[in-house]
Structure 1
Amino acid sequence: MTRVCLIGTADCNLQYELLSRETSREALSTYDLERPFENSIALQTVSVGAAISLLNDLNWYLTRFVDEALVQEPSVSDDEWLSRPLATELRNGAVESAETAEFCKIYGLERVGPEPDGTEQSSAASDGGTPAGAATASAESAETSDPDADGESDSSPADGTESSDTVGFVGSQWRLVEPLYVRRTDGELPEYDLRDVEETLVVRLTEAEHAP
Protein backbone atom coordinates (compact mmCIF):
# COMPACT_ATOMS: atom_id res chain seq x y z
CA MET A 1 0.00 0.00 0.00
CA THR A 2 1.24 3.48 -0.90
CA ARG A 3 0.93 6.11 1.80
CA VAL A 4 0.13 9.80 1.33
CA CYS A 5 0.82 12.47 3.93
CA LEU A 6 -0.24 16.11 3.69
CA ILE A 7 1.44 18.66 5.95
CA GLY A 8 -0.59 21.84 6.44
CA THR A 9 0.76 25.36 6.19
CA ALA A 10 1.52 27.14 9.46
CA ASP A 11 -1.44 29.54 9.17
CA CYS A 12 -4.25 27.00 8.74
CA ASN A 13 -5.89 24.02 10.39
CA LEU A 14 -5.50 21.41 7.65
CA GLN A 15 -8.10 18.97 8.98
CA TYR A 16 -10.71 21.72 9.09
CA GLU A 17 -9.86 23.14 5.69
CA LEU A 18 -10.08 19.78 3.89
CA LEU A 19 -13.01 18.27 5.75
CA SER A 20 -15.22 21.36 5.83
CA ARG A 21 -15.38 21.55 2.03
CA GLU A 22 -17.60 19.19 0.10
CA THR A 23 -15.28 18.33 -2.79
CA SER A 24 -12.19 17.57 -0.72
CA ARG A 25 -14.24 15.82 1.98
CA GLU A 26 -15.80 13.51 -0.60
CA ALA A 27 -12.40 12.77 -2.15
CA LEU A 28 -11.11 11.71 1.28
CA SER A 29 -14.26 9.97 2.51
CA THR A 30 -13.27 6.47 1.36
CA TYR A 31 -9.98 6.52 3.28
CA ASP A 32 -9.07 5.93 6.91
CA LEU A 33 -7.32 9.11 7.94
CA GLU A 34 -4.42 9.43 10.37
CA ARG A 35 -2.59 12.40 11.86
CA PRO A 36 1.04 11.24 12.23
CA PHE A 37 2.38 14.80 12.64
CA GLU A 38 1.06 18.08 13.89
CA ASN A 39 -1.39 19.67 11.41
CA SER A 40 -1.27 16.75 8.98
CA ILE A 41 -3.47 14.13 7.32
CA ALA A 42 -2.20 10.74 6.15
CA LEU A 43 -3.89 7.85 4.37
CA GLN A 44 -3.15 4.70 2.39
CA THR A 45 -3.86 4.13 -1.30
CA VAL A 46 -3.40 1.05 -3.50
CA SER A 47 -0.54 2.36 -5.64
CA VAL A 48 1.65 5.31 -6.57
CA GLY A 49 -0.71 5.99 -9.45
CA ALA A 50 -3.70 6.17 -7.11
CA ALA A 51 -1.76 8.44 -4.75
CA ILE A 52 -0.87 10.88 -7.54
CA SER A 53 -4.43 10.82 -8.87
CA LEU A 54 -5.74 11.73 -5.41
CA LEU A 55 -3.24 14.56 -5.07
CA ASN A 56 -4.24 15.86 -8.49
CA ASP A 57 -7.91 15.76 -7.48
CA LEU A 58 -7.06 17.79 -4.37
CA ASN A 59 -4.69 20.17 -6.12
CA TRP A 60 -6.84 23.31 -5.60
CA TYR A 61 -6.72 22.70 -1.85
CA LEU A 62 -3.06 21.65 -1.81
CA THR A 63 -1.91 24.92 -3.34
CA ARG A 64 -3.74 26.88 -0.63
CA PHE A 65 -3.48 24.83 2.55
CA VAL A 66 -0.65 22.28 2.18
CA ASP A 67 3.04 22.93 2.72
CA GLU A 68 4.19 19.41 1.81
CA ALA A 69 2.53 16.53 -0.06
CA LEU A 70 4.50 13.34 0.55
CA VAL A 71 4.21 9.81 -0.86
CA GLN A 72 5.69 6.65 0.65
CA GLU A 73 5.99 3.65 -1.66
CA PRO A 74 7.16 0.35 -0.06
CA SER A 75 8.80 -0.82 -3.29
CA VAL A 76 11.08 2.22 -3.04
CA SER A 77 11.59 2.49 0.74
CA ASP A 78 9.80 1.44 3.90
CA ASP A 79 10.89 4.49 5.89
CA GLU A 80 11.73 7.28 3.45
CA TRP A 81 9.18 9.45 1.65
CA LEU A 82 9.02 10.87 -1.87
CA SER A 83 8.13 14.44 -2.71
CA ARG A 84 5.08 14.83 -4.94
CA PRO A 85 7.17 15.77 -8.03
CA LEU A 86 9.45 12.76 -7.54
CA ALA A 87 6.51 10.42 -6.97
CA THR A 88 4.94 11.79 -10.17
CA GLU A 89 8.14 11.06 -12.10
CA LEU A 90 8.16 7.54 -10.65
CA ARG A 91 4.52 7.00 -11.67
CA ASN A 92 5.25 8.28 -15.18
CA GLY A 93 8.28 6.03 -15.61
CA ALA A 94 10.63 9.01 -15.90
CA VAL A 95 12.77 7.67 -13.05
CA GLU A 96 13.43 4.20 -11.66
CA SER A 97 13.12 3.32 -7.97
CA ALA A 98 16.88 2.92 -7.61
CA GLU A 99 17.41 6.43 -9.01
CA THR A 100 15.33 8.24 -6.39
CA ALA A 101 17.76 8.14 -3.46
CA GLU A 102 20.44 10.73 -4.27
CA PHE A 103 18.75 14.06 -3.43
CA CYS A 104 16.98 14.37 -0.09
CA LYS A 105 15.92 16.66 2.68
CA ILE A 106 15.85 15.56 6.29
CA TYR A 107 13.31 16.98 8.71
CA GLY A 108 13.86 16.95 12.43
CA LEU A 109 10.94 15.56 14.42
CA GLU A 110 10.15 17.36 17.65
CA ARG A 111 7.75 16.03 20.26
CA VAL A 112 4.89 18.42 20.98
CA GLY A 113 2.23 16.19 22.54
CA PRO A 114 1.99 14.48 25.92
CA GLU A 115 4.23 11.65 26.96
CA PRO A 116 2.48 8.30 27.56
CA ASP A 117 2.34 9.23 31.29
CA GLY A 118 0.47 12.43 30.44
CA THR A 119 3.33 14.92 30.91
CA GLU A 120 3.89 17.57 28.28
CA GLN A 121 7.14 17.87 26.38
CA SER A 122 7.97 20.43 23.70
CA SER A 123 11.36 19.26 22.52
CA ALA A 124 12.86 16.05 21.19
CA ALA A 125 11.63 12.77 22.60
CA SER A 126 13.75 11.12 25.25
CA ASP A 127 11.95 7.79 25.49
CA GLY A 128 12.61 6.50 21.98
CA GLY A 129 8.98 6.87 20.88
CA THR A 130 8.27 7.20 17.16
CA PRO A 131 5.57 8.80 15.02
CA ALA A 132 4.43 5.35 13.87
CA GLY A 133 2.04 5.10 16.81
CA ALA A 134 -0.30 7.83 15.60
CA ALA A 135 -3.96 6.96 16.13
CA THR A 136 -6.35 6.41 13.22
CA ALA A 137 -9.65 8.15 12.69
CA SER A 138 -12.15 7.80 9.85
CA ALA A 139 -13.30 10.78 7.84
CA GLU A 140 -16.66 11.26 9.52
CA SER A 141 -18.68 14.19 8.24
CA ALA A 142 -18.63 17.39 10.28
CA GLU A 143 -20.81 20.50 10.10
CA THR A 144 -19.74 21.82 6.69
CA SER A 145 -20.42 24.35 3.99
CA ASP A 146 -19.59 24.36 0.29
CA PRO A 147 -16.81 26.67 -0.91
CA ASP A 148 -17.92 29.95 -2.41
CA ALA A 149 -17.26 30.60 -6.07
CA ASP A 150 -13.81 31.89 -5.23
CA GLY A 151 -13.11 28.84 -3.07
CA GLU A 152 -13.18 30.67 0.26
CA SER A 153 -14.92 29.27 3.32
CA ASP A 154 -16.65 31.82 5.53
CA SER A 155 -16.02 29.99 8.82
CA SER A 156 -12.47 28.68 8.58
CA PRO A 157 -10.06 29.40 11.43
CA ALA A 158 -6.93 31.05 10.06
CA ASP A 159 -4.60 30.60 12.99
CA GLY A 160 -4.16 26.83 12.87
CA THR A 161 -6.09 26.25 16.09
CA GLU A 162 -8.47 23.35 16.56
CA SER A 163 -12.10 23.99 15.71
CA SER A 164 -15.21 22.39 17.13
CA ASP A 165 -16.10 21.53 13.53
CA THR A 166 -12.91 19.53 13.02
CA VAL A 167 -13.12 15.77 12.86
CA GLY A 168 -11.92 14.21 16.12
CA PHE A 169 -8.36 13.24 15.32
CA VAL A 170 -6.17 12.24 18.24
CA GLY A 171 -3.45 14.88 18.50
CA SER A 172 -0.09 13.89 17.09
CA GLN A 173 2.95 13.95 19.35
CA TRP A 174 5.29 15.10 16.56
CA ARG A 175 6.10 18.24 14.59
CA LEU A 176 8.33 18.55 11.50
CA VAL A 177 11.06 21.16 11.95
CA GLU A 178 13.80 22.76 9.82
CA PRO A 179 14.61 20.61 6.77
CA LEU A 180 18.27 19.96 5.98
CA TYR A 181 18.98 19.52 2.26
CA VAL A 182 21.53 16.76 1.68
CA ARG A 183 22.96 14.49 -1.00
CA ARG A 184 23.43 10.79 -0.44
CA THR A 185 27.04 9.69 -0.95
CA ASP A 186 28.06 6.02 -1.18
CA GLY A 187 24.62 5.08 0.06
CA GLU A 188 24.90 7.20 3.22
CA LEU A 189 23.10 10.36 4.29
CA PRO A 190 24.75 13.05 6.43
CA GLU A 191 23.41 13.37 9.97
CA TYR A 192 20.78 15.97 10.74
CA ASP A 193 22.54 18.72 12.72
CA LEU A 194 20.29 21.80 12.63
CA ARG A 195 18.97 21.17 16.13
CA ASP A 196 18.97 18.46 18.78
CA VAL A 197 16.26 15.94 17.83
CA GLU A 198 15.95 12.23 18.44
CA GLU A 199 13.88 11.36 15.38
CA THR A 200 14.13 12.44 11.74
CA LEU A 201 12.12 12.03 8.56
CA VAL A 202 13.78 11.68 5.14
CA VAL A 203 12.10 12.97 1.98
CA ARG A 204 13.59 12.08 -1.41
CA LEU A 205 13.55 14.93 -3.93
CA THR A 206 14.05 15.63 -7.59
CA GLU A 207 17.31 17.35 -8.46
CA ALA A 208 15.39 20.53 -9.28
CA GLU A 209 13.80 20.57 -5.81
CA HIS A 210 17.17 20.01 -4.18
CA ALA A 211 18.79 22.98 -5.90
CA PRO A 212 16.01 25.37 -6.95
Structure 2
Amino acid sequence: MTRVCLIGEAGTNLQYELLSRETAREALATYDLERPFENSLAVRTVSIGAAVSLLNDLNWYLTRFVDEVLVQEPSISDDEWLSRPLATELRNGALEPAETDEFCKLYGLERVDPEPDTPAGAADSTPRTDDGPSGETDSAGDGEPSGGADDSSDADRPGVAEPTHRLVEPLYVRRTDGSLPEYDLRAVEETLVVRLTESEYTP
Protein backbone atom coordinates (compact mmCIF):
# COMPACT_ATOMS: atom_id res chain seq x y z
CA MET A 1 0.00 0.00 0.00
CA THR A 2 1.13 3.54 -0.71
CA ARG A 3 1.70 5.68 2.37
CA VAL A 4 1.05 9.42 2.57
CA CYS A 5 2.57 11.54 5.32
CA LEU A 6 1.86 15.22 5.93
CA ILE A 7 4.26 17.29 8.05
CA GLY A 8 2.64 20.35 9.59
CA GLU A 9 4.04 23.84 9.45
CA ALA A 10 5.79 25.15 12.56
CA GLY A 11 3.33 26.63 15.02
CA THR A 12 0.35 24.56 13.81
CA ASN A 13 -1.32 21.49 15.27
CA LEU A 14 -1.80 19.60 12.03
CA GLN A 15 -4.04 16.86 13.38
CA TYR A 16 -6.41 19.41 14.87
CA GLU A 17 -6.37 21.71 11.84
CA LEU A 18 -7.37 18.86 9.51
CA LEU A 19 -9.76 16.82 11.64
CA SER A 20 -11.69 19.80 12.96
CA ARG A 21 -12.68 20.84 9.44
CA GLU A 22 -15.52 18.98 7.81
CA THR A 23 -14.21 18.58 4.26
CA ALA A 24 -10.75 17.41 5.33
CA ARG A 25 -12.20 15.17 8.03
CA GLU A 26 -14.52 13.48 5.53
CA ALA A 27 -11.64 12.95 3.08
CA LEU A 28 -9.65 11.20 5.83
CA ALA A 29 -12.56 9.38 7.46
CA THR A 30 -11.97 6.01 5.79
CA TYR A 31 -8.28 5.83 6.71
CA ASP A 32 -6.47 4.68 9.84
CA LEU A 33 -4.41 7.63 11.00
CA GLU A 34 -0.78 7.48 12.11
CA ARG A 35 1.65 10.06 13.48
CA PRO A 36 5.11 8.79 12.51
CA PHE A 37 6.81 12.13 13.19
CA GLU A 38 6.18 15.17 15.35
CA ASN A 39 3.25 17.27 14.07
CA SER A 40 2.47 14.83 11.27
CA LEU A 41 -0.46 12.80 10.01
CA ALA A 42 -0.08 9.69 7.83
CA VAL A 43 -2.44 7.26 6.09
CA ARG A 44 -2.10 4.19 3.87
CA THR A 45 -3.82 4.22 0.47
CA VAL A 46 -4.31 1.44 -2.09
CA SER A 47 -2.03 2.87 -4.79
CA ILE A 48 0.09 5.82 -5.81
CA GLY A 49 -2.85 7.03 -7.90
CA ALA A 50 -5.10 7.00 -4.83
CA ALA A 51 -2.41 8.81 -2.84
CA VAL A 52 -2.11 11.60 -5.40
CA SER A 53 -5.91 11.89 -5.62
CA LEU A 54 -6.18 12.22 -1.84
CA LEU A 55 -3.54 14.95 -1.86
CA ASN A 56 -5.43 16.77 -4.59
CA ASP A 57 -8.61 16.57 -2.50
CA LEU A 58 -6.75 18.06 0.47
CA ASN A 59 -4.85 20.66 -1.50
CA TRP A 60 -6.60 23.70 0.05
CA TYR A 61 -5.47 22.53 3.50
CA LEU A 62 -2.00 21.51 2.36
CA THR A 63 -1.20 25.02 1.17
CA ARG A 64 -2.21 26.47 4.55
CA PHE A 65 -1.12 24.00 7.21
CA VAL A 66 1.42 21.59 5.69
CA ASP A 67 5.15 22.16 5.31
CA GLU A 68 6.07 18.87 3.62
CA VAL A 69 4.15 16.14 1.77
CA LEU A 70 5.75 12.68 1.61
CA VAL A 71 4.64 9.63 -0.36
CA GLN A 72 6.08 6.14 0.13
CA GLU A 73 5.49 3.61 -2.65
CA PRO A 74 6.68 0.05 -1.85
CA SER A 75 7.28 -0.77 -5.51
CA ILE A 76 9.85 2.06 -5.53
CA SER A 77 11.40 1.73 -2.07
CA ASP A 78 10.46 0.34 1.33
CA ASP A 79 12.37 2.98 3.27
CA GLU A 80 12.72 6.05 1.04
CA TRP A 81 9.96 8.57 0.40
CA LEU A 82 8.89 10.56 -2.65
CA SER A 83 8.02 14.22 -2.84
CA ARG A 84 4.50 15.05 -4.01
CA PRO A 85 5.67 16.34 -7.43
CA LEU A 86 7.71 13.17 -7.97
CA ALA A 87 4.80 10.94 -6.96
CA THR A 88 2.57 12.87 -9.37
CA GLU A 89 5.05 12.41 -12.23
CA LEU A 90 5.16 8.68 -11.52
CA ARG A 91 1.39 8.45 -11.43
CA ASN A 92 1.18 10.29 -14.74
CA GLY A 93 3.81 8.06 -16.38
CA ALA A 94 6.22 10.95 -16.91
CA LEU A 95 9.00 9.04 -15.12
CA GLU A 96 9.98 5.41 -14.72
CA PRO A 97 10.68 4.07 -11.19
CA ALA A 98 14.36 3.58 -12.04
CA GLU A 99 14.65 7.29 -12.84
CA THR A 100 13.58 8.52 -9.38
CA ASP A 101 16.64 7.96 -7.20
CA GLU A 102 19.20 10.55 -8.32
CA PHE A 103 17.96 13.75 -6.66
CA CYS A 104 17.18 13.58 -2.95
CA LYS A 105 17.12 15.42 0.32
CA LEU A 106 18.08 13.94 3.66
CA TYR A 107 16.28 14.90 6.83
CA GLY A 108 17.87 14.32 10.17
CA LEU A 109 15.64 12.50 12.67
CA GLU A 110 15.74 13.70 16.26
CA ARG A 111 14.02 11.90 19.09
CA VAL A 112 11.25 13.86 20.82
CA ASP A 113 10.33 13.62 24.47
CA PRO A 114 6.82 12.33 25.22
CA GLU A 115 4.33 15.09 25.95
CA PRO A 116 1.61 15.02 28.61
CA ASP A 117 -1.73 13.70 27.38
CA THR A 118 -3.70 16.71 26.14
CA PRO A 119 -6.47 16.91 23.60
CA ALA A 120 -5.25 17.84 20.12
CA GLY A 121 -7.42 20.93 20.11
CA ALA A 122 -6.55 22.11 23.60
CA ALA A 123 -4.45 24.99 22.35
CA ASP A 124 -7.44 26.34 20.48
CA SER A 125 -10.79 25.16 21.78
CA THR A 126 -12.80 27.29 19.34
CA PRO A 127 -14.90 24.96 17.16
CA ARG A 128 -13.78 24.89 13.54
CA THR A 129 -16.31 24.89 10.76
CA ASP A 130 -15.79 24.02 7.14
CA ASP A 131 -13.64 26.24 5.00
CA GLY A 132 -12.30 27.22 1.58
CA PRO A 133 -13.58 24.41 -0.66
CA SER A 134 -17.21 25.10 0.27
CA GLY A 135 -16.94 28.72 -0.83
CA GLU A 136 -18.89 29.93 2.20
CA THR A 137 -17.71 32.31 4.90
CA ASP A 138 -19.01 32.80 8.38
CA SER A 139 -20.90 35.81 9.65
CA ALA A 140 -17.74 37.24 11.18
CA GLY A 141 -16.29 37.65 7.71
CA ASP A 142 -12.94 36.14 8.68
CA GLY A 143 -12.73 33.73 5.78
CA GLU A 144 -13.82 30.66 7.74
CA PRO A 145 -16.88 29.20 6.00
CA SER A 146 -19.95 28.52 8.03
CA GLY A 147 -20.83 25.02 9.16
CA GLY A 148 -22.55 25.32 12.50
CA ALA A 149 -21.59 22.00 14.09
CA ASP A 150 -19.10 21.73 16.94
CA ASP A 151 -16.42 19.51 15.43
CA SER A 152 -13.80 19.97 18.14
CA SER A 153 -14.44 16.52 19.64
CA ASP A 154 -13.43 14.90 16.33
CA ALA A 155 -10.05 16.60 16.21
CA ASP A 156 -8.42 14.04 18.51
CA ARG A 157 -9.25 10.67 16.98
CA PRO A 158 -8.39 7.80 19.38
CA GLY A 159 -5.73 5.23 18.61
CA VAL A 160 -3.15 7.57 17.04
CA ALA A 161 0.17 6.82 18.71
CA GLU A 162 2.43 9.62 19.85
CA PRO A 163 5.40 10.26 17.52
CA THR A 164 8.93 9.49 18.64
CA HIS A 165 10.93 11.60 16.15
CA ARG A 166 10.93 14.97 14.40
CA LEU A 167 12.37 15.92 11.02
CA VAL A 168 15.18 18.48 11.12
CA GLU A 169 17.26 20.46 8.57
CA PRO A 170 17.07 18.89 5.12
CA LEU A 171 20.32 18.38 3.21
CA TYR A 172 20.02 18.28 -0.58
CA VAL A 173 22.15 15.50 -2.06
CA ARG A 174 22.69 13.61 -5.30
CA ARG A 175 23.04 9.85 -5.48
CA THR A 176 26.27 8.76 -7.18
CA ASP A 177 27.05 5.12 -8.07
CA GLY A 178 24.12 4.04 -5.94
CA SER A 179 25.27 5.85 -2.79
CA LEU A 180 24.16 9.01 -1.00
CA PRO A 181 26.48 11.36 0.89
CA GLU A 182 26.27 11.29 4.67
CA TYR A 183 24.09 13.77 6.53
CA ASP A 184 26.43 16.27 8.20
CA LEU A 185 24.30 19.24 9.27
CA ARG A 186 24.02 18.08 12.87
CA ALA A 187 24.57 14.95 14.93
CA VAL A 188 21.60 12.60 14.46
CA GLU A 189 21.17 8.87 14.92
CA GLU A 190 18.94 8.37 11.89
CA THR A 191 18.04 10.05 8.62
CA LEU A 192 15.07 10.00 6.26
CA VAL A 193 15.52 10.06 2.47
CA VAL A 194 13.07 11.93 0.24
CA ARG A 195 13.44 11.52 -3.52
CA LEU A 196 12.84 14.68 -5.56
CA THR A 197 12.24 15.81 -9.10
CA GLU A 198 15.19 17.52 -10.71
CA SER A 199 13.40 20.87 -10.52
CA GLU A 200 13.04 20.52 -6.73
CA TYR A 201 16.73 19.79 -6.24
CA THR A 202 18.58 22.83 -4.86
CA PRO A 203 22.19 21.94 -3.96
- TM-score, normalising length: structure 2: 0.81
The SS at the match of 2:33 is: strand
One-letter amino acid matched to 1:70: L
In the TM superposition, structure 1's runs of 4+ consecutive aligned residues that sit over 4 Å from their partners are none
1:207 aligns with 2:177: no
The residue that corresponds to 2:129 in the other structure is 145
More contact order relative to length (CA 8 Å, sep ≥ 6): 1
2:157 to 148, 164, 167: 167
Query: In 2, are the aligned partners of 1:16 and 1:167 still within 8 Å (CA)?
Result: no
Quick one: distance in 2 between partners of 1:61 and 1:38? Answer: 18
Structure 1 residue 56 displacement after superposition: 0.2
The residue that corresponds to 1:140 in the other structure is none
- TM-score, normalising length: structure 1: 0.78
Q: When the two structures are aligned, how many residues end up with a matched partner?
A: 178
The residue that corresponds to 1:182 in the other structure is 173
Unaligned runs of 5+ in 1: 115-142, 155-162
Structure 1 residue 173 displacement after superposition: 1.1
Query: In 2, are the aligned partners of 1:2 and 1:72 still within 8 Å (CA)?
Result: yes
The residue that corresponds to 2:70 in the other structure is 70
The residue that corresponds to 2:119 in the other structure is none
Quick one: distance in 1 between partners of 2:45 and 2:87? Answer: 13
The structure-2 alpha-carbon separation of the partners of 1:173 and 1:153, relative to structure 1 and needing over 3 Å to count, comes to: farther
The structure-2 alpha-carbon separation of the partners of 1:196 and 1:164, relative to structure 1 and needing over 3 Å to count, comes to: farther
Structure 1 residue 98 displacement after superposition: 0.4
Quick one: distance in 2 between partners of 1:66 and 1:208? Answer: 20
Structure 1 residue 165 displacement after superposition: 4.8
Unaligned runs of 5+ in 2: 115-126, 147-152
The SS at the match of 1:211 is: coil
Quick one: distance in 2 between partners of 1:81 and 1:72? Answer: 5
Structure 1 residue 81 displacement after superposition: 0.2
One-letter amino acid matched to 1:56: N
The residue that corresponds to 1:31 in the other structure is 31
The SS at the match of 1:49 is: helix
1:8 aligns with 2:8: yes
Structure 1 residue 113 displacement after superposition: 2.5
Quick one: distance in 1 between partners of 2:143 and 2:184? Answer: 40
The residue that corresponds to 1:159 in the other structure is none
The residue that corresponds to 1:17 in the other structure is 17
Matches within 5 A, 1:107-146: 107-114=107-114, 145-146=129-130
Query: In 1, are the aligned partners of 2:104 and 2:201 still within 8 Å (CA)?
Result: yes
Identity of aligned residues (%): 77
1:55 aligns with 2:44: no
Per-residue Cα deviation, 1:59-102 (whole angstroms, up to 9, x for no partner): 00000000011100000000000000000000000000000000
One-letter amino acid matched to 2:7: I
Quick one: distance in 2 between partners of 1:66 and 1:153? Answer: 20
